Structure 1
Amino acid sequence: MIHTRSLVRRTAAVVAAGAAALVLAACGGDGDGDASASAGHGGHNATASASASASASQGRHNAADVAFAKGMIPHHRQAIEMADLAPGRAQSAEVRKLAADIKKAQDPEIRTLSGWLASWGEEVPAEGTMDHSAHGMGGMMTAEEMTGLENASGKAFDTAFMELMIKHHEGAVEMAETERSDGAHGPAKKMAGEIITSQSAEIEQMNELLGED
């Protein structure tokens, strides 16, 4: 009986000591646990923040993005209108190919720009409508310039087309540079970079062709 009581006391002491150790570990571990949790949460938050930032750069937009899309749609439409004149009027095979390349590149961009505006709840510029205050801005052709191009043919058309398209492209490059510096929508900034690269190359090509005349 005495032996049993002694065993019980020892067992109780062990249990008490174990409980005390657990309490101490818990108390002592609070700081470590918090630090660890904090580090864990911090790591998670950092990852989440990076992910959110990446998502934001793709999804968010600002007024510069809207202006870019609304300005570039009619700008591209006019370039395509000019390019559509080339097959029946251009003398130079290079000019006909250049016009085809312009249309091939800018048609899909118009669809993409229109999709962005629709997703942002913004009005897409209507087909066939031009903001006449934009003529002379961003390299846009005046009605008189477009009529003159329509009435030209052969070498005269080639020269007029390239001279007007150089001015038109320079306006697009300027608009794209503004988007790259001021825009927030990742895909729009990417498109702006592609416009700068492709249209700058076409400007160089047209200047070379004009220099050969």
Structure 2
Amino acid sequence: MRNTRTFMARRATLAAATVTAALVLAACGNDGDSDNGGQDTTPSASASSSASSSSSSTAHNAQDVAFAQGMIPHHQQALEMARLAAGRASSAKVQDLASRIEKAQDPEIRTMSGWLKGWGEKVPSAMPGMDHSAHSGKNGTSGTTGMSGMSGMMDGKDIDKLEKASGKAFDTMFLTMMTEHHEGAVEMAGTEKDKGAYGPAIGMADDIVTGQTAEITEMNKLLGKS
């Protein structure tokens, strides 16, 4: 009888020890997750996908570099032309358009310059003083195959004519040249949208297409073409 009681007591002691050990192990496991609120720290598929998407949107390729290096001088020439309107245009609508062009494109030049510096690429030198050699384009201007093959660029002779014009003659010349200039920018931006990789550059290209296409329509109306 005494042996039976001793055996039962030992079994109870062993069972208690087993329960205690299990509780200790569970506590240790919880402590290991305490820094993360007890949550599973294994990266989820959605988190991995998000990280991959973020990485691809911040990467850039040769097209992004070409876009920035080409659009900076393209914008700089547009600013040079727009700044002439203040003292030469007779139309308040032309002056207003020129002011809006300047406000839109000047910040974009600074943004693109920042991209190129961050990528370790050359930032085009500031205008004016552009190459005055280009082939004659439509509307009597030289813009279709202008500087470095960039579409819509005017040559030095075009800019000289614009500088010497005033009143209604300036308005017509400015609108004609700027329409062609914008068409070139839209073409360049379209290439960036198709072939670029850098998210912000593609976004700017989309803004250029939208904004300058609307301004082309506006300028054609001012020229009486639509």
TM-score scaled to structure 1, two decimals? 0.80
- Determine the C-alpha separation between the residues in 2 that align with 1:13 and 1:85: 97
Residues 70 and 150, structure 2, Cα contact 8 Å, conserved in 1 = no
Shift, 1:88, TM fit: 1.0
For the residues of structure 1 that align with 2:91 and 2:61, how far apart are their CA atoms? 42
Indicate the SS of the match to 2:125.
coil
Match of 2:210 in 1: 197
Paired residue type of 2:71: M
Counterpart Cα distance in 2 of 1:45 and 1:60? 23
Is residue 178 of structure 2 the alignment partner of residue 165 of structure 1?
Answer: yes
> Greater CA deviation, 128-137 or 158-167?
128-137
Structure 2 counterpart of 1:146, from 159, 169, 177 = 159
Structure 2 gaps of 5+ residues are 23-39, 135-145
Match of 1:65?
64
Counterpart in the other structure of 2:197 = 184
Matched, 1:50 2:49: yes
Report the Cα offset of residue 140 of structure 1.
0.3
- Rounded to whole Å, the distance in 2 between the matches of 1:181 and 1:193 is 10
Task: Provide the C-alpha distance between the structure 2 equivalents of 1:194 and 1:111, rounded to a whole number of angstroms.
Answer: 16
Aligned residue number for residue 77 of structure 1: 76
The percentage of counterpart residues that share the same residue type is 55
The residue identity in structure 2 corresponding to 1:137 is M
**How far apart are 1:151 and its partner, in Å?**
1.1
Alpha-carbon distance in 2 for matches of 1:198, 1:112 = 17
Counterpart Cα distance in 2 of 1:212 and 1:69: 32
1:90 match: 89
Moved more, 72-81 or 176-185: 176-185
User: Which segment drifts farther, 1-10 or 103-112?
Assistant: 1-10
Q: Is the 8 A contact 2:130 2:156 kept in 1?
A: no
Q: Report the residue type matching 2:106 in the other structure.
A: D
**RMSD of aligned C-alpha atoms?**
2.6
Alignment CA distance shift 1:130-1:61 (3 Å): farther
Offset from partner CA, 1:144-165 (integer Å, 9 cap, x none): 1111111111111111101110
Deviations 1:131-186 (A, max 9, x none): 66743631000111111111111111111101110000000001111111111111
Which consecutive unaligned segments of at least 5 residues does structure 1 have?
23-38
Distance 1:115 1:150 in 2: 31
- Higher RCO by CA contacts (8 Å cutoff, separation 6 or greater): 1
Per-residue CA distance 1:99-123 (angstroms, 9 max, x = gap): 1100010000000000011111111
Name the structure 2 match of 1:7.
Answer: 8
- The 10-residue stretch of structure 1 (169-178 or 3-12) with the greater mean CA deviation from structure 2: 3-12
Quote the Cα distance in structure 1 between the aligned partners of 2:56 and 2:130. Answer: 31
Displacement, 1:56?
1.8
In structure 2, distance between residues paired with 1:212 and 1:51: 48
Code of the residue aligned with 1:152 in structure 2: it is: A
Q: Structure 2 CA distance, aligned partners of 1:53 and 1:86?
A: 47
Higher helix share: 1
